[in-house]
Amino acid sequence: MVIIWIILLIGLLYVIQLFLYNKYWKAGVRTNVRFKQSAIFEGEQGILEEIIENAKLLPIIALKVKFQTSRDLKFLDTTNNVVTDNYYRNDIISVGPYRKLTRELAFVGTKRGYYVIDGMSLVGTDLFMRSQMVSENACHTTLYVYPKPYRDAQFALTLQKLNGEILTKKHLLEDPFEFRGIREYEPYDDVRYIHWKSTAKTGDLKVIQKNYTAVKNIRIFLYLQHNTMIHREELLENSIRMLVSLVENYLALGSNLEIYSNCEDSITKQIFSMEKITNTGYLENLYKALARLGIHTLHPFEKALEEKLFRDLNTATIVLSPYGNADLQEKLLRYAEKNESLYWIYPHRRDDKTIIDERLEKQLLSIVVEG
């Protein structure tokens, strides 16, 4: 008889706790995941905080906390996770009455980007772990992984050479008060500089060419394209890292920079460019923009860069591009005829078979990249 009463009592307790957990299991439960830092550089370690609070008398016996993020955030704790196209985390946590638990999950940002965690799933259970209750929880946390500067002995020598070339030429800019000569009109020339007397004499449009005065402006053009045969993503990523090194280098030397590219911002979908970069205070915004830079939608040179390149024939200009097809080389040759301060940084693999026009030898700065 006693055994029967014990069984009935256990059954009653089971029904009561099942009712309570089904109705109140999520009451007072507050969960969140958030990146502890807002930004890190590639290769650096970050922390993702997992916060669970139980503000009620009912204990949480086994709460499953599930969320997903990019596999490019490599978590050091490999338990309770699955990595496929994304990283899936599934932690089982117990929290007593009126307790708050904060866990820190360390990870390494292996690739530049803008990372977002939007939402998490909760799976609760009763005391006997016989019934499951599911809920979707809102959360939003973001992380920038900035591209790291490119560190390489060959590239360091290239920077030294560039510094010597550009800085000794004093960043040439037209002086409106000093006349240099007459040349052929180009589509991007200002009509105010047309020399009408020479134009009437020859029948072809001619423009006045000014002498130069010393300033410290530099333009950098980042032109990326995918190899039609092999998609070498790491070569494109290294080109972006080289851009970071160039910007840091010339800002440290007191230069004013303009940056143009044929890449889209992954959030705004606008082609990335940044002008009037005058000091290191602009670096954070640049790092963020480059973290969001997409390399899968790349616009042709004619649409994104050609007009910007040819509208200024005097400022020191660096073209950073691992893409050396004949069409680009032709444009660089045409521009080099009008601006002797053109430099082409050409990152490429050791097995690259691209034939470079020998007339670009003076402008070419070749960088062998492993990867």
d(C-alpha 157, C-alpha 177), whole Å: 37
Res 210: pLDDT: 56
Res 188: pLDDT: 43
Q: Do domains 28-146 and 153-171+215-368 have the same CATH topology?
A: no
Parse the chain into domains and list their residue ranges. 28-146, 153-171+215-368
Instruction: Report pTM.
Output: 0.81
Res 190: pLDDT: 59
Q: For the chain, 371 residues long, give each residue's pLDDT as a single digit of tens.
A: 777 777 777 676 767 766 766 777 778 788 899 999 999 999 999 999 999 998 888 888 888 889 999 999 999 988 877 888 888 988 888 888 999 999 999 999 999 999 999 999 888 877 777 777 888 888 999 999 999 999 998 999 999 888 888 876 644 444 444 455 677 765 545 566 777 777 777 877 777 765 544 447 999 999 998 765 455 889 999 999 999 999 999 998 889 999 999 999 999 999 999 999 999 899 999 999 999 999 988 999 988 999 999 998 889 999 999 998 899 999 999 999 999 899 999 999 888 888 999 999 999 999 999 75
Cβ atoms of residues 50 and 103 within 8 Å: yes
Nearest alpha-carbon partner for 35 in 190, 127, 143:
143
DSSP secondary structure code for residue 358 in this structure: G
* CATH code at 28-146: 2.60.40.680
DSSP assignment string, 32-90: EEEESSSEEETT-EEEEEEEEEE-SSS-EEEEEEEEEEETTEEES--TTEEESSEEEEE
> What tokens appear for 158 in the block?
């290239």
How many helical (H) and strand (E) elements, i.e. helices and strands, does the chain have?
8, 19
Sequence-separated (6 or more) residues with CB below 8 Å from residue 201: none
Fold classification of 153-171+215-368 (topology level): Rossmann fold (3.40.50)
Cβ atoms of residues 325 and 333 within 8 Å: no
Nearest alpha-carbon partner for 27 in 68, 60, 2:
60
Res 200: pLDDT: 74
> What tokens appear for 10 in the block?
């256990």
Res 196: pLDDT: 72
Q: What is the largest CA-CA distance in the chain?
A: 124
d(C-alpha 8, C-alpha 14), whole Å: 10
